[in-house]
Amino acid sequence: MNRRFFIFLTVLGLLAGAAFGQSAAELQRRMRDRLPQLDALKEKGVVGENNRGFVEIREGGGASAGSLVSDENRDREAVYELIARQTGSTAENVGRARAKDIAARSRPGVWVQDESGRWANK
């Protein structure tokens, strides 16, 4: 797992503060626990990172991939909402900024979507 992801989760925990208490810790745990499965799907080309900061199924994967993607996107949406409230931004802007960061640090071979919606294999 990469260092920037852990920094992101740490920042999430700090932003959550008392407002979310145990739920922020649970959110962090779920995302951290899900990361190896998500990375494996990215390596296979089943899942890609879209330009809104969410993961999308690209090819195959079946029901388990769909469930994993739904769970991840639900948690990412909660993170973006939380950061937006703390920074005075919108969840959409936070997600788009996060998408750029994710695309920049993604490993070669991961599918990423540019701002215009075109998919490319990094």
pLDDT 10s digits, 55-70: 999 987 778 899 999 9
3-state SS class at 48: strand
86: left (phi over 0), alpha (psi -120 to 50) or beta: alpha
H/E stretch holding 94: helix 91-105
Please give the residue that has the higher pLDDT: either 105 or 7. 105
Position 15 confidence tier, pLDDT thresholds 50, 70, 90: low
11: left (phi over 0), alpha (psi -120 to 50) or beta: alpha
Cβ-based neighbours of 34, under 8 Å, separated by 6 or more: 68, 71, 72, 75
% helix, strand, coil for the chain, step of 5: 65, 10, 25
pTM of the model: 0.81
pLDDT score of 85 more than 60: yes
pLDDT score of 2 more than 60: no
Please give the residue that has the higher pLDDT: either 85 or 20. 85
Domain residue limits at 27: 3-121
- Into how many domains does the chain fold? 1
Closest CA to 51 of 115, 118, 102: 115
Residue 40 tokens read as 């494996």
